[in-house]
Structure 1
Amino acid sequence: MATRTVVLTGRVRDAAGNTTVTATTITVEARSTLLGWCPPDSTVTDIQRMAARYPQPRLMRLYSAPGKGIAPWSSGMLAEVPAQTVLHYSFKDWSRTTSPALIRDWLSARPAARRGVIDLVTLDHEPEQQDSGDPTPAEHRQEWKELLEALADHPRRREVWLVPVFTEYAATRSASWWTDFGQVATYPGVDAVGFDIYDTGYERYRTPAERNGFALATARRVGRPLVIPEWGIQRKPALKSGTTYDLDGAICAQAMRDNMAFLRALPDVPYVAWFYRGNCDLHATLAYPSGQTYVRDRERAAFVDLMR
């Protein structure tokens, strides 16, 4: 179990009115990192299919597509989230389909049964990719300021974490461009920093320290927990030279186990979600470059073990 230290500071007054400030450091046990999943698509059908494969998930990652506004709690995909499952929900279109009043009403309508669970809310995830009408850096910063202000005094504000989410691949390759968006992570009221992390663009699987290093450093620099809302490792059957590397997925399965062991030894990474889409869909039938098909059985077995 990972631990972390917390400094408690208080002002003490005696009967005569004399005061002093004192501080003490205590050690607390950090909750083990929860591993959940993001379905192939945020539809009722896909959520139900995933829930049949992996019942009672500890964490579920869902999205509203651009132009769709905020999903209602009472119907559609959000109604499929079990009461005790942590929800990480992303939406876009702040200036077009959403407003401070709407987001306040949405939080007010959060089901009473979920009050014992903290949900995560993200506006404009992965904005630096500039896909599907993503905001400019200036727009992104302004929208986040408005979101934080809208919910700052909401009576149910403690029931949600507000989490900007960025792309590790983009941030490490275009640091100056990403920083224009990443400033949001420093804003008062932000509860955690999120990074979507894959091994795309690397010939071999990265070590856990390599894979998570940038995201951890960024979150710790602003003093907030790290959340990994999308995590995926595509199987790498061969190296660029054509030499066989991981034909049966055994190395990938071990990389998955090593990654979660690394994160669970840390005190400040509470949530991770496997991106169950495309080449990271562990039930999909995929093809090697030769055309021979395969299913990621070894990786799926690792995933099942890691969710326990």
Structure 2
Amino acid sequence: MAGLYPGSSAVRVFFGPGEGLPGSAWTDATRVGRQRLADLPAGCTVVVSFKDQHVNRLAFVEAWREARPDVDLILITHHEPEQQEGGDPTPAQYRASWTRTREQVGDHPARAEGRLRLAVCWTLQWIRRGGDWRTWWPDHEADAVDLVLGDWYPYTPGAPDPYRPTSYEEPAAALKVMVDLAAATGKDWGLAEVDHRRILRANGYAADVDPTGELCATWYRQMHTTAKELGCRVWAHFHRDMGAALGDLTKRPAEQAALRQLITQEANDVGRQRRLNWVKDGSPFRLMTPARDLRDILRGHGYTVYDIGNRSHLEADPPEDHTPYSATGFPGKARYGVGYALDVMPPAAGARSKVDGLPLPSLQRIGAQLLADRKAGVGGIRWLKYMNWEPERNNGGPCWHESWEPTYARRSSTDRGHIHLSGLTGYETSTIAAGYDPVARIRGDDDDMMTPKQFLALLQDPAVDFHLRGTAWRYVGGGIPAGMSTLGVLNETLIRLRALGEIVAAESSSPDEVRALLADLELPAPEPVDVDAFAAQVAQRVLAGLPAGDGPVRQEDLVAAIRTVLASLAAPAPQS
């Protein structure tokens, strides 16, 4: 298959009843056919199904991370359970199987990274002829489901033979069931299998409509384009040795050419190449510090919070804040290798905080608190560039994009089902969010008064420290000559001291020692000055300050006179 379709970005792998889910499949070079995972194309997404209930999901996932970290994994718990054929579970067994999936890999770091996605998969023909997908929906483990996948094959309700329609179905209608499933579950969707036989008498159809396969090839292209427009996250085409009439694309050159064209199109996609180049760099990723601090606070309470995006985010053009190479940084350019975004997922019904044992606030309450705090200028969320959220539950009301780029503005958004947070550039290493806890603020346990630890963390923030040091040098006011700042006074003093030191060196019996002392101070070079004139001025004022008489000048009198002169030079100018 890799030879027939070079550059494939998705591969489908199936472990049937009794085959388990062996971690050795990732490294065993003696395997042949569809389970030879060592030969997966570089950088692809592999869609893996299994049928056995008690397999070790964690061992399989860990073997994947060790052997092929360059590929992403979509793991389907019990492929097509509704078929009720050999080895298929009862609904109760299916639910228990999903609990095992959640217990073993639901909290795996690869899932938080978006590299591991957990999926359900049903045949759409079964649903379109009246099957109730809710029978096989693990609602008790809904938080562990990342994707709803379907296996698409021809079925036209109302046709004389719904499995053998008279024409290729219009793509938007063909995909409506998947779009509806995604909306009903609040999950992303994709196609784990898709294919259409040519409409020929040899395939059981009423007429030879498409003897060359050109109509079917055109339908492939249209379906693929429409699926991407409707949000499809993965597309795996069905391919198996079943003969020309039954779907083997090696015997269907027109359809094979269309599929190869689509694969080449994706392989040359700018977004995909950008992701592959990042992978070649070692996949550097670090979440900006304030987003990381908030993520850890919310995860500590029990929320599911994602940061780096999945394949669709990483290959988007332009790449946005869930990627480590965002092109949408504001107010400056995003740093390569840094992520700027979080997705906060809704808590399960009845979920309680791991911190205080109280019920977890809904996303509506969390979003309202974040918005209110950002508008009020609360320090812990001042790094927020924009947020997408729904004030009402269950997609039942508006979804808002609240932004500060640079001033506050609100507009509609379609980014539903979670709270999306994106951060401002310039805060990459800021500790401004240390200790900020929106859950505690909702409960009234945080009145935004800083603890000593939080205040110390704020002072240690590089951005805050920079501004504090700058403020000291910009000070003007009492004790500073009119028209000058602290830095100006210091600069003037240093210049005069350097000039005075040169006078002292000229009169000293050890001028090199005096100049060495001045050099050790590492003073800035003085501004150009008429040394002779300045020396004469200083000498005149020093002599005037010495005791009257013709006797020798005592050292203490000279020191006192020099101090008097320096003090007068630094004194404030008279006020008019």
TM-score by length of 2: 0.40
- State the secondary structure of the residue aligned to 1:270: strand
| Partner residue in 1 for 2:51 | 92
Counterpart check, 1:67 vs 2:18? yes
Are residues 187 and 245 of structure 1, via their aligned partners in 2, closer, same or farther at CA, if it must alter by over 3 Å? same
The one-letter amino acid paired with 1:255 is W
| Partner residue in 2 for 1:258 | 222
| Partner residue in 2 for 1:104 | 58
Contact 2:98 2:138 in 1 (8 A): no
Q: 2:219, 2:205 → 1: CA distance?
A: 22
Q: 2:134, 2:210 → 1: CA distance?
A: 35
- State the secondary structure of the residue aligned to 1:52: coil
- State the secondary structure of the residue aligned to 1:302: helix
Give the CA deviation at 1:307. Answer: 1.3
| Partner residue in 2 for 1:164 | 120
- State the secondary structure of the residue aligned to 1:187: helix
Q: 1:252, 1:195 → 2: CA distance?
A: 20
Counterparts of residues 108-127 of structure 1 (less than 5 Å)? 108-112=62-66, 114-127=68-81
- State the secondary structure of the residue aligned to 2:127: helix
Give structure 2 stretches of 5+ with no counterpart: 156-162, 265-576
Instruction: Write the deviation string for residues 154-194 of structure 1: whole angstroms up to 9, x where unpaired.
Output: 33333310011111001111333x43113459711211100
Are residues 135 and 241 of structure 1, via their aligned partners in 2, closer, same or farther at CA, if it must alter by over 3 Å? closer
The one-letter amino acid paired with 1:68 is E
1:82 to 28, 31, 41: 41
Counterpart check, 1:297 vs 2:256? no
- State the secondary structure of the residue aligned to 1:218: helix
Which of the two has greater strand per residue?
1
Are residues 242 and 219 of structure 1, via their aligned partners in 2, closer, same or farther at CA, if it must alter by over 3 Å? closer
Q: 1:185, 1:264 → 2: CA distance?
A: 30
2:169 to 206, 217, 226: 206
Are residues 198 and 109 of structure 1, via their aligned partners in 2, closer, same or farther at CA, if it must alter by over 3 Å? same
| Partner residue in 1 for 2:418 | none
| Partner residue in 1 for 2:547 | none
| Partner residue in 2 for 1:129 | 83
Instruction: Write the deviation string for residues 216-238 of structure 1: whole angstroms up to 9, x where unpaired.
Output: 11012212111101000111125
2:149 to 178, 189, 194: 194
Counterpart check, 1:230 vs 2:197? no
Are residues 93 and 220 of structure 1, via their aligned partners in 2, closer, same or farther at CA, if it must alter by over 3 Å? same
The one-letter amino acid paired with 2:27 is S
The one-letter amino acid paired with 1:192 is L
The one-letter amino acid paired with 2:77 is L
Q: 1:74, 1:174 → 2: CA distance?
A: 42
Instruction: Write the deviation string for residues 205-251 of structure 1: whole angstroms up to 9, x where unpaired.
Output: 11101211111110122121111010001111259895432122121
Give the CA deviation at 1:116. Answer: 4.7
Contact 2:102 2:141 in 1 (8 A): no
Give structure 1 stretches of 5+ with no counterpart: 1-49, 285-295
Q: % of aligned pairs identical?
A: 30
Q: 2:221, 2:173 → 1: CA distance?
A: 15
**Whose radius of gyration is greater, 1 or 2?**
2
Give the CA deviation at 1:110. Answer: 2.0
Are residues 105 and 190 of structure 1, via their aligned partners in 2, closer, same or farther at CA, if it must alter by over 3 Å? same
Q: 2:64, 2:124 → 1: CA distance?
A: 31
Q: 1:224, 1:183 → 2: CA distance?
A: 13
Contact 2:198 2:216 in 1 (8 A): yes
Are residues 205 and 81 of structure 1, via their aligned partners in 2, closer, same or farther at CA, if it must alter by over 3 Å? same
Are residues 209 and 69 of structure 1, via their aligned partners in 2, closer, same or farther at CA, if it must alter by over 3 Å? same
| Partner residue in 1 for 2:439 | none
Q: 2:141, 2:168 → 1: CA distance?
A: 31
| Partner residue in 1 for 2:341 | none
